[in-house]
């Protein structure tokens, strides 16, 4: 079976390790911190237990003592370094230098685009962003975003590999700040924070609107398949009927000013306190894994063409 | 048990009928179309079968031959008339005239705010919008939006009744065009359509990003509880770290111009054709019912305070 290097064994790197190992790949894992490397067998086991994954997959994981060892002979590198530009550039220069030329290199970067750290490197054509939603072993989407230098072949191979690993790759045609997911999240959050700051709805009411309403359709089929079913004549009919209303609702929607300190205070008062974050995060991941299994078991009988 | 009138026996009226009947209420259902009234026992049964609801609840449903009969003695009226202002005004004038003064009147209106059809009516203080997501027997959220005339008592009673009926009421403090849900949907759709029109992602890729990513967290806990877990120090920490990035991503986000004919054509080519809409809608509702049961069975162990 093909081999994959996972660079960085924090939360995201460990989740990627589970993704690739359970799909049958040999995973060569490395982290610059020796303590993190030593703890990896246990922390990987914890990740499997939380998600309900079969921990025997971890037999395919090799924790390596140097990055060079981890990168030897792999066909894919999943890089999970810190989101600081200088560190990221240095890391990719080193990965590019020691990895076999046929390997493809994906970065889990959420804030930095690939051109910012791959520009000028000899292997820039094989470097792209493969941005997961944390943690990827319980949320399958991965955004594949090229730099202007990334080759079509590298994108093809990234897409095929992610699909083979059981993830849902979303292929972008060009580099865009925020990729897709965070751009969608940003506009919805801005409007949400504005409605709360204006006192129109409480934080709990806002979350309820999505969790017990809008979000359910979106989770079953996405926002476009959703509107395709919301008018008898499909999406064209929907946009004819409701497009002008939707356009009107965006006309006075919130901008970046919504991310203001005053609303942060309202939210901090309404939401669970920071000391509850670790336990709630574990609970979230357990529920995400259960939701993933539920959605797989109850597939839409007719898929989009 | 208390009695409820459901006015209009289309898709939404029938779904409301199932909601109230399964919660133990006596439902008095009326529709102006005699054929629709005659078909109601069968169409209500179909709705129950689709959602997996126990059809014996329908023993509590009385199909009435006049609106006046339906409204007699009820404590709540759920109005589901067409979304045309003159019709809505006339309907509410009549409902207000014949309903006992202590009843509260909720409209399923999604496009019209309550002031537009209740202003000037003697009972305007007890009229509000109770906007469901279609169909409400498988999606629990209901937006409660007052007009400037709606009394606090009417809002309190609406909230208590919806909670007793097993729905998730979201109470708004004032009248806002689009309420909450469609404002959130509008900004996300605008950005989605813009990304597609620019060729950055395909419609399938856009839907995958939400269905297999962002939407899952939002469905489990909503967008605010989501960001509260996305930084070690909770929501304040999140907005400190990522607020400026989020603000930047909204700075060049799409406006109402995104709802353009050109993108409608791209979507129509990519999505299932209109002849598939009825079958896909039934499938959606079946899956929404299954998702609702799944979410109920796997409650978050710690709730927002």
Among A305, A231, A248, A219, CA closest to B203:
A305
For residue A261, give how far its alpha carbon lies from the nearest alpha carbon of chain B (Å): 8
Which one of A108, A139, A171 terminates a domain?
A171
pLDDT at A143 over 60: yes
pLDDT at A141 over 50: yes
Q: Model confidence at A252, in pLDDT bands (50, 70, 90)?
A: confident
Q: Are residues A11 and A128 in the same domain?
A: yes
Q: What percent of chain B has pLDDT over 70?
A: 98
| Whole-number average pLDDT of chain A | 95
State whether B195 and A176 contact (CB < 8 Å): yes
Q: Model confidence at B73, in pLDDT bands (50, 70, 90)?
A: very high
Q: Model confidence at A181, in pLDDT bands (50, 70, 90)?
A: very high
Which residue of chain B comes nearest to A179, CA vs CA? B200
Q: Are residues A105 and A189 in the same domain?
A: no
Q: Which of A228, A256, A292 has the CB atom closest to B272's CB atom?
A: A228
B305 belongs to a structural domain:
no
B51 belongs to a structural domain:
yes
Q: Are residues B159 and B43 in the same domain?
A: yes
Q: Are residues B153 and B188 in the same domain?
A: no
Q: CATH code at A264?
A: 1.10.1040.10
pTM as predicted: 0.95
User: In this structure, how many other beta carbons lie within 10 angstroms of the beta carbon of residue B90?
Assistant: 13
pLDDT value of residue B266:
97
**What CA–CA distance (Å, rounded) separates A33 from A129?**
24
Which residue of chain B comes nearest to A193, CA vs CA? B224
A147 belongs to a structural domain:
yes
**What CA–CA distance (Å, rounded) separates A187 from A165?**
31
Q: What is the pLDDT of residues A257-303, one digit of tens each?
A: 999 999 999 999 999 999 999 999 999 999 999 999 999 988 754 44
Q: Are residues B9 and B122 in the same domain?
A: yes
Q: Which residues pair with A132 in a beta bridge?
A: A142
Query: CB neighbours of A296 closer than 8 A, spacing ≥ 6?
Result: none
**In which order are the strands placed within the sheet that holds A168-171?**
A61-63, A26-30, A3-7, A76-79, A104-107, A127-132, A141-146, A168-171
User: In this structure, how many other beta carbons lie within 10 angstroms of the beta carbon of residue A65?
Assistant: 10
Residues of chain B positioned with their CB less than 8 A from the CB of A131: none
pLDDT value of residue B300:
55
Q: Are residues A185 and A135 in the same domain?
A: no
Q: Are residues B117 and B208 in the same domain?
A: no
B293 belongs to a structural domain:
no
Q: Are residues A37 and A94 in the same domain?
A: yes
Q: Which of A205, A234, A243 has the CB atom closest to B170's CB atom?
A: A205
Best mutation target among A222, A262, A288 (most B Cβ atoms within 10 Å) is A222
State whether A210 and B223 contact (CB < 8 Å): yes
3-state secondary structure of B40: helix
Q: How do strand A168-171 and strand A127-132 relate by DSSP bridges?
A: unpaired
A64 belongs to a structural domain:
yes
Query: CB neighbours of B123 closer than 8 A, spacing ≥ 6?
Result: B96, B99, B101, B105
State whether B271 and A171 contact (CB < 8 Å): no
Q: What is the pLDDT of residues B97-124, one digit of tens each?
A: 999 999 999 999 999 999 999 999 999 9
Which one of A144, A171, A198 terminates a domain?
A171
What's the structural domain count of chain A? 2
Which residue of chain A comes nearest to B233, CA vs CA? A274
Identify the burial level of A106 via C-beta atoms within 10 angstroms of its C-beta, where 0-12 means exposed, 13-18 middle and 19 or more buried. Answer: buried
Q: Are residues B165 and B76 in the same domain?
A: yes
State whether A172 and B233 contact (CB < 8 Å): no
B295 token code pair: 């979410």
Identify the burial level of A302 via C-beta atoms within 10 angstroms of its C-beta, where 0-12 means exposed, 13-18 middle and 19 or more buried. Answer: exposed
B227 token code pair: 């960001």
What ipTM does this complex have? 0.96
CA B250, A284, A282, A264 dihedral sign is positive
**What CA–CA distance (Å, rounded) separates B149 from B126?**
8
Q: What percent of chain B has pLDDT over 90?
A: 93
A26 belongs to a structural domain:
yes
Q: Which domain holds residue A250?
A: 181-271
Which residue of chain B comes nearest to A233, CA vs CA? B274
For residue A152, give how far its alpha carbon lies from the nearest alpha carbon of chain B (Å): 15
Best mutation target among A130, A184, A196, A255 (most B Cβ atoms within 10 Å) is A184
Q: Are residues B65 and B17 in the same domain?
A: yes
Contact at 8 Å (CB) between B259 and A235?
Answer: no
For residue B100, give how far its alpha carbon lies from the nearest alpha carbon of chain A (Å): 30
State whether A219 and B210 contact (CB < 8 Å): yes
**What CA–CA distance (Å, rounded) separates B50 from B282?**
7
Q: CATH code at A101?
A: 3.40.50.720
pLDDT value of residue A300:
55
The DSSP string of chain A is: --EEEEE--SHHHHHHHHHHHHTT-EEEEE-S-HHHHHHHHHHHHHHHHHHT--GGGGGGEEE-SSHHHHHTT-SEEEE---S-HHHHHHHHHHHHHHS-TT-EEEE--SSS-HHHHHTT-TTGGGEEEEEEPSSTTT--EEEEEE-TT--HHHHHHHHHHHHHTT-EEEE-SS--TTTTHHHHHHHHHHHHHHHHHTTSS-HHHHHHHIIIIIHHHHHHHHHHHHHHTSSTTHHHHHHHHHHHHHHHHHHT---GGGS-HHHHHHHHHHSPPGGGHHHHHHHHHHHHHHHHHHHHHT--SS---
Average pLDDT, stretch A230-234?
A: 94
B64 belongs to a structural domain:
yes
Q: Nearest 5 degrees, angle CA A67-CA A12-CA A184?
A: 130
User: What stretch of H or E contains B293?
Assistant: helix B277-297
B294 belongs to a structural domain:
no
B276 token code pair: 């598939």
Q: Are residues B164 and B193 in the same domain?
A: no
Among A255, A256, A239, CA closest to A247:
A239
Q: Which of B225, B244, B284 has the CB atom closest to A221's CB atom?
A: B284
pLDDT at B302 over 70: no
Q: How far is CA A6 from CA A31, A80, A101, in A?
A: 9, 8, 17
The owner of tokens 């939407």 is: B215
Query: CB neighbours of B43 closer than 8 A, spacing ≥ 6?
Result: B9, B14, B36
Q: Are residues A101 and A202 in the same domain?
A: no
Q: What is the pLDDT of residues A57-66, one digit of tens each?
A: 999 999 999 9
Report which DSSP code applies to B24.
T
The owner of tokens 């909720």 is: B106
CA A70, A71, A72, A76 dihedral sign is positive
Q: Which of B183, B232, B277 has the CB atom closest to A249's CB atom?
A: B183
Best mutation target among A129, A208, A290, A298 (most B Cβ atoms within 10 Å) is A208
Query: CB neighbours of A193 closer than 8 A, spacing ≥ 6?
Result: A254, A258, A259, A260, A263, A267
Which one of B136, B171, B206 terminates a domain?
B171
pLDDT at B53 over 60: yes
The owner of tokens 């309900």 is: A52
Average pLDDT, stretch B153-173?
A: 98
**What CA–CA distance (Å, rounded) separates A20 from A42?**
17
Contact at 8 Å (CB) between A234 and B273?
Answer: yes
Best mutation target among B219, B276, B284, B296 (most A Cβ atoms within 10 Å) is B219
């Amino acid at each position: 079976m093909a081999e994959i290097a996972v660079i960085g064994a924090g939360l995201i790197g460990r989740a990627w390790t589970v993704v690739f190992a359970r799909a049958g790949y040999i995973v060569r894992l490395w982290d610059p911190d020796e303590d993190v490397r030593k703890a990896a067998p246990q922390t990987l086991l914890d990740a499997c237990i939380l998600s309900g994954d079969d921990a025997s997959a971890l037999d395919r994981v090799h924790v390596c003592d140097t990055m060079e060892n981890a990168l030897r002979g792999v066909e894919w590198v999943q890089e999970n370094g810190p989101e600081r530009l200088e560190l990221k550039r240095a890391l990719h220069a080193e990965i590019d230098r020691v990895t076999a030329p046929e390997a493809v290199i994906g970065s889990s970067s959420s804030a930095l685009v690939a051109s910012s750290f791959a520009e000028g490197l000899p292997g820039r054509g094989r470097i792209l962003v493969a941005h997961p939603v944390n943690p990827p072993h319980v949320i399958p989407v991965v955004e594949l975003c090229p730099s202007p230098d990334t080759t079509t072949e590298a994108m093809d191979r990234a897409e095929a590999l992610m699909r083979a690993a059981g993830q849902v790759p979303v292929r972008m045609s060009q580099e865009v700040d925020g990729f897709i997911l965070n751009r969608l999240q940003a506009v919805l959050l801005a409007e949400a924070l504005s409605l709360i700051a204006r006192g129109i709805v409480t934080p709990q009411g806002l979350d309820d609107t999505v969790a017990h309403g809008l979000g359910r359709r979106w989770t079953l089929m996405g926002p476009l398949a959703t509107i395709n079913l919301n008018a008898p004549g499909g999406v064209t009919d929907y946009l004819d009927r409701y497009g002008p209303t939707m356009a009107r609702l965006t006309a006075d929607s919130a901008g970046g000013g919504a991310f203001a300190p005053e609303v942060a205070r309202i939210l901090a008062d309404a939401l669970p306190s920071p000391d509850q974050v670790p336990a709630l995060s574990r609970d979230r991941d357990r529920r995400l894994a259960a939701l993933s299994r539920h959605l797989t078991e109850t597939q839409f009988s007719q898929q989009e063409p």
